[in-house]
Structure 1
Amino acid sequence: MLHVLEHYNWTSSGIKTFVDNITVAYNRQLQVHTAENYQRVLKQASQVSRVIVVCLTSDLRRPFMLAAKDGGFTSPDYVYLFIQSTGTSFLLPTPIWESEPTDGRDTDAHEAFKSVLLLDKPVNVLPADYNSKAMDLVTQYPWDCYECPTLAKNASLLSFYLGDSVLAYIYALNKTVEMYKSYPNLPQIIKNSTLVLQNIPDGFVDLEGETLYLYFKKSRILDFALYGLDTAGNQQRWAYTTTLGDKGFMDSRPFIENYTDAATTIWATREGIQPLNEPLCGFLGNKCPVKPWVLPISIAAGCLTFVINLLLFLFCIYLFQRNRRRQLNKLWQVDFNDIEFPDETISKGTKSTRSVRTIASDSYLSAIDNSKTNNIKFMYLNHELVIAWTSPILSDKELSPNEKELRELRMLEHPNLNRFLGMTVGNGNLYILWRYCERGSIENFIEDYKDKIDDRIIHSMISQIVEALYFIHNSPYSPLAVLSADSCVVNDRFEVKVQYCGMNNIKKLELFDDSNRKTLYVAPEILRRPNRNIEGSKEGDIYSFGILTSQIATKTSVWRMKEKDLTVEEILFRVRQRTVPLERPSVQRADGLEMDARLESLILQCYSEEPAARPDIRLVRDRIRCLEGNSKKSNFMDYMFALMENTAVDLEQQVQYRTAELVEEQRRAEVLLNRMMPQKIVELLRKGESITPEVYENATVYFSDVVGFTILSSKSTPLQVINFLNNMYTISDDIIERHKVYKVETIGDGLHCVSGIPTRNGNDHVKDICDMALAIREGVKSLRMPHLPSEMIQIRLGIHSGACVTGIVGMTAPRYCVFGDTVNLAAKMESTGKPSQIQISFVTKNLIDQHFPTLYKTEHRGEVYIKNRDPVETYWLLSKNF
């Protein structure tokens, strides 16, 4: 067999051998012989080899080859090697492809065996009269087998070789006796078969009188023939080979071909081509040689695939950026449902105890209320007062170019710019929201503090306005276009903030109103334009700055309207007509004192009729800094401290005011501390006494957690997450206050509460916790995230009752904590629960059954497996019976 494999270069086959250059690619032994098993094994073998060595009994070979043909494993690149030593080849008593009784598939079997090469002893190698002699002798002594001639027609070929083996042994036995005949223990020596076999001769005359040679461990040389079927299906002897017994082979007699043209003989049934050790396209069909036209097509296909993938990638980036823009746009897009108007808020009474009248300065409210054309409104956003600039509703097309700017403005932080809070649409208007500053506009502030403002404060106010203008003029939001006393506001820290920065495309949609005093700040060249849109320029901002600075420096109203008999329309008419002298506000101070000459010169330059003659913001900034000198920039708070030092009465009032604030802050701190810790613990801490841990025999612990909070957070900005948690805990805190429950802590989206601690309440602790859990579950159902309206908010709730230990943990930031296995199991009740379900332990269920048997409706869940614990019997708390 090895001669055959090596001769045809079949180095990968299914045969187990010791020769290094033959690889066993697949080896399988079958226990169940069915067509399905044959085909399964052949399918596996075909993935690693096309040369298949088959060792089967003669009765199984035909079913095997039929299964191979049915499975498509008899194509020209397959070759099956069968081996036998009977000397009967394919014919046996009858041809191997024929069946008795016939099954109608002899033709298929005959065709399938054309893929087989059979290695067998040559046919007709025995002497002519060997069969008759052997069959006659087998009936004589010592065999006496009278039935043998009827059992078989021919003697076995192996019996012929057995005779030569016996003869070789007799020669060896005679030689051994001759060698050891003088030994007394000769009978024992000849029983030693190993010693006897060493004396087998290298050659002797066999039964037929021919010289027989033995080589390699006294093994006999055997001749074999390689049989196959030709195209007509007739058996042919294609080659001769020889081998030794035992292990090994010899090369003294090479593989002898019995044909001249292999293509028309041995390989004729395979289209004249010898089966390869591995097909050209490999066992799996993935190694086919590349055709000349494949490479260009592959390159073109690869390029097309790359382009398509690139377009898909770019499209994905576009979708990602668009979704990201939408998410970021939600920073400035305010839900109108979150907006409350002052009258509505006051009437409700529950959302805010403050009214606009108690927060805003009287002069600020008066200025807004007295202006019939004012587009400034007060509103509440999340219970905080804000200022809203009213504008006509814009279409998505008009608003789209401003989205990037609006996102930037929402995130913009500058010490002299008022914070932009967002936009909302409602009641047929677009509302642009800005942070409310408690001390109102700068005009209102001057009116309220006119007698207390000196040059130091005036310079500080002007300096802060200049810093805001300097930032705007050197940013993409230039120009401001609406600089006026109303656009400069003062907060509770006496800092001047400029508002209405940016959104120039939206400002262009607004029109100047000659009856509105804000138009008095508009530059002459802008007033003379045919269109009346609010479309400013940097030079126009400098002119407006000059008007505003004269108003601040003289501590009067704009253009001293209260001292003039002219109306706003008449003043604007004079400005447009360039009357001589030019109509401009006076720079004379109302208190009769002289204005700083440098400031007066700067104001007059800003008044210039020609825009080019006005200084730019950089020059204005440098000159204002010269007014302040090298000292640190002052603010209104510095002024207020100086005023308190110089005026004893004011100092006393301020001390009283601050003292009241301190008392209020202490009260708030105490309220906050009482919310963080039990009141009796706070009292002990205030006295400086140590807090010893306390054991509570009976308490009920509650845990809850938002389902899928991590996924919701990934879809939200940090600000949106904070707003959501604030809304959720507002609901839960309101519910907790209505029950005798103590809130231990909140960690992210998790809530931890307990009843029966720190105040013992008998057996009511289980009732209080159950009532609270049912209320929280019901309250959360209405909770939604504005930017994710389709996401349903669900929580898991867990309850367990038992003993607990409490104590204060930490020194720098002490916390009141509850410990014990009860707390751990309550947390497991929550973590192993289901969305919108309240899972209670068997202990809690027993307490309910004992003390409140008809109050609640529960449902048995079964055992819950908890790590490092025995299974725990749990129940669902469904509802309360009323």
Structure 2
Amino acid sequence: MILEATMILLSLSSVSSSDFGFNDAVLQIKPWPTENCSVVPAETRCKAVTEEKCKICNEDVCKLNIVVSFPNSSQYILNLNRVSKLVDETLTGINLDYEIKAIDDKCSQEIVLGKIIDITEWCPHVIIGIPCDYPIAGVARISKYLGNAGVPLLAPSAFTYDFTAEKISMSNEFYHLINIGQADYRSFAEFLRIIFTKYEWKSFLLLYEKGDFYEIGGENACYLTMSTLVYTEFVGYNYESKDLSNINSSDPNSYSDLLKESIGVKYGVILSCASHSKIRKVVIEAAKLGMMDRNEYIFFNFALYNNASEPDLPWYDANDTDNNEMAKKGFDSVLTFYPYRETNFNEIKEHTFRGFYYLNDIQEALIMYVDTIKEIIDNSSSDFKGCNIVQRLRGMHYVNENGWNLTLNCNAQRLSKFALVAQTNGKSKIMATYSIVDKTIGFWDPGNFVFPPEKPVCGYDLSNCPTYDKVNILLISLISVIFFGLVIVSIIFYRHYKLKAEIYSQSWKVNYEDIAFLTKDRRSSLHSITTIKEYDEMSLAGDKQLFATIGYYKSIRVAIKKLPDVKVNLSHQQLIELKAMKDLSNDNLVKFYGACIESPNNCLLIEYCQKGSLQDILENPEYNLDWTFRMSLIMDVTRGMHYLHGSPIKSHGALKSSNCLVDSRFVLKISDFGLHFLRGNDKSDEADANSYQYWKRFLWTAPELLRMNNPPAPGSQKGDVYSFAIIMQEIIMREGVFYIKGTSLEPKEIIEIIRSGPDANNGSPLRPTVSSENVSEQSDEITTLIERCWSEDPHDRPDFATLKTKLRQMNRKENDMNLLDNLLTRMEQYANNLEALVQDRTKDYLEQKRKCEELLDQLLPKSVAQQLIMGESVTAEAFDSVTIYFSDIVGFTALSAESTPLEVVDLLNNLYGLFDSRVEHYEVYKVETIGDAYMVASGLPERNGLKHAYEVGRMALDLLSSVKKFKIPHRPDTPLRLRIGLHSGPVVAGVVGHKMPRYCLFGDTVNTASRMEQNGQPLKIHISSATKAILDKVGRFDIELRGEVEMKGKGKVITYWLNGEKADNVFLGEDFLSPHHIPISARPSTPRPRSIYDPDTSQRKVVELRTGLDAIDFVKEIDTIKKCHNHVNKIEPEQTVLVKITPSDETEVPLLPKTQENR
């Protein structure tokens, strides 16, 4: 019997012991790794062999010598004849010579050791065997001395705990032993220890048989199993043990006496390991004694040679049919430990003998060994030392044709799984699984099984429980029945009262003030990252039929659907329906959060699905829906409608593709069901009975409903099935609703034909086209199903329960996928479909972002703008020395009064455009313009030493020169009189405001610069003594003393006029330094003659080159150049300048590196 349902469930389970309340930390040994097994300490590696012998390959000839050691007796599952034949069949066709030595070891240590020693000179390369534990130990100890530095021992039955202990070092006596069998006693002990810890059992009874259970592990298998328990994981536990080998089976009372004496009322937990017949007799006698009646006893049995995926029938005996029913009852309290190997048993069903899996273990291990040898040969290596081959096998993985796999951990032990199987009415069910990979219980489903305490409460004979008078028992029982009857009646009344209270509590009711509508301003807010994300998602989704307003209710994003502005009086039945809507919960139904019935704000609040409706997706060519995706959408509709039809809502009544919404995970959810007493008041669609949209909404309606004068608003369940068929046709064809190939009928014409019946369409009902080209391999099945769903007779249409089952059978691929894989598949398909769209949107976004950053750089200093973009706060900063420029237009007020507003705007735009074009040539920052006022500063936000006065001074002269040439567009004969003021000193600068942040300057220096401008004169540059002191250090400006000037708040101060720059080239002092530029006085001021080559005239001109000067100043020293474009910012020291004189009045000044030719 194969546990298919259980295996499917187990394949979906991937959890740890802690998830089921188990504590795997109690185990003595942690899991062994399976990777990097070759990384071992030096002391554990193979020792160098000075003279190698027993080589596998000599020159070009390679041959394997294989020893097969098993008893030559059919009583053993692994016998010499069967294994030798398997080895020979496995090695056939491996392109490698081999020779097999078969040894009949008779499970005797003396015999097998003698025969192994006798064939030492034959040079065995690998040993396969031995089925008994004691002989295995002897052979494993001498295997390290055989052959070429040891011989690997592939042991399928090395079960005892000594063979699974640590053996990663060459010094370990069992280093060459490789456990290839599917079971081991210690793993059973660990599995059981975790369960004991959960149920806090500290005592138990052992029942074992010594000498009659030798099919694979020898006559001591059960004895060693129990020994492993008590000497490894159960040290310190209280236990007794009984050997069933000496029991008299002919005495009918022997088993009963054993149970009474050994178990009695002392132990509630019994561990057994014996032959099938003896375990069955023990269970039958325990059932007869009543040990199985009150869930006070539990039996754990060990089945070493079966598999949990194909368990036997332990209760059945063809020779004892009279006791089969009693045995079946008894085994309901027995839990059996099995090795567990998941596989497709249909492919290996011809293998029916017990223990077949162990034979397969040998084949897998032999193939893995041969592959290792071939790999060494293919790599042209001669390292065939046995210890190295053992090291290579550790951590290896092999999968055979049946899906079985063999993986060895770094301790040379096979990674196996074990299962705990329960029997219920003779049927097996896997209750738990345990894996030695991580030593955790990965599956746990006890069902209704009851785990008793470690000691019986009453005992099988009730000896631990007092007896009572029957009259008193009857009286107490009667009183109890009456009491519990009253309690039940009270509960019924209470539930009825509570239900009524819940109905009238109106938990679905929503206050309109609690709804936060998502407005456009909020979506575009710079301070709301979440809403920006939402806005981007809406943008990526494309054009959709979004008829609902988006908002937030209790921090949940919802869709708000407006209702007609009418007063609503709710009846008791309508309140029940509203509560039922609130209680609905299904992954494929849109969640109903509540309703607001406060006129004029009537609305419904439902779950927001940002991908829009199914109709939107089907009509959007950007979505590439493969067949798997389409079937997923169809299955979502089926699941949602199946749940809806089983709920109090009963039916939909308006199922259509526009009412099927898709959320962000591409899960389809059905909406617009129920509450027809609220939705039915909306008559807007009936305003124009001849419109396209009016008739289109009936294309999903069933024929029998179309023919009614007043069809019910909730529709019918059969009508929903018809609507579902139309939706399936939409999904498959993607040609729009009710697509009929070769025709162009309008919705109104289609509805009239359907209403008229089949006679109006040549005797056949009018239905959409379903082409097999658009359907997957189930074309016939899906087409037939659609035709059944839109059948003219409602009784011929299947219900959604049938549809769900049928579609599951068609959609096997999705059924094999778990929920996470299904979701990931959908999201991957969506990502692939929208990848190009996202790239385009991202490109547009980056372009707009670049423009915004450029605009921000124009409004604020670049360093400040970068801080704001990164979300950092900009703190105010103090600057020790800056120069501030203020200017305004004298007579601007009168000029504005005589001009129109547009003329004033045009004037200022042209003027400031001129100013801006000149300012960008200097190391200054434009602070702001207000009306005719213009403010510039230098020395911030980037400090430049004392160069700020120099830069602002030259800029002021430039602007003054430019404004003299400026013509007012609408009054060209009227000159502009610019008044300029400069002042230098300390300021504090910072960003002010959040809505429109501005970079502002504060301090007395700003006020003083403004006063200098206000007390100046037209077409003159008024500077303070502080600015004059800095400019004097430059030594190149023409400054004139103005004298004392009365200034508001300052009194009388001495000021100056800046008239221009001196013609001669005066040395700039050492104090005139800029932190980002080379000092002007970096070189001596003495002119140095240079010979400059003119390529046009082939002549050399001798000029004076002063290093460290600006290129524009250097060019002024050349007589032959009238005008020069400043192509070079700075002439570095030790550079040679080549000046090219062109026929036009322009000069190019490139920099050439210093070479001998350029000199």
Q: TM-score range by the shorter chain?
A: 0.3 to 0.5
Using the size of structure 1 for normalisation, the TM-score is 0.34
Using the size of structure 2 for normalisation, the TM-score is 0.26
Larger radius of gyration: 1
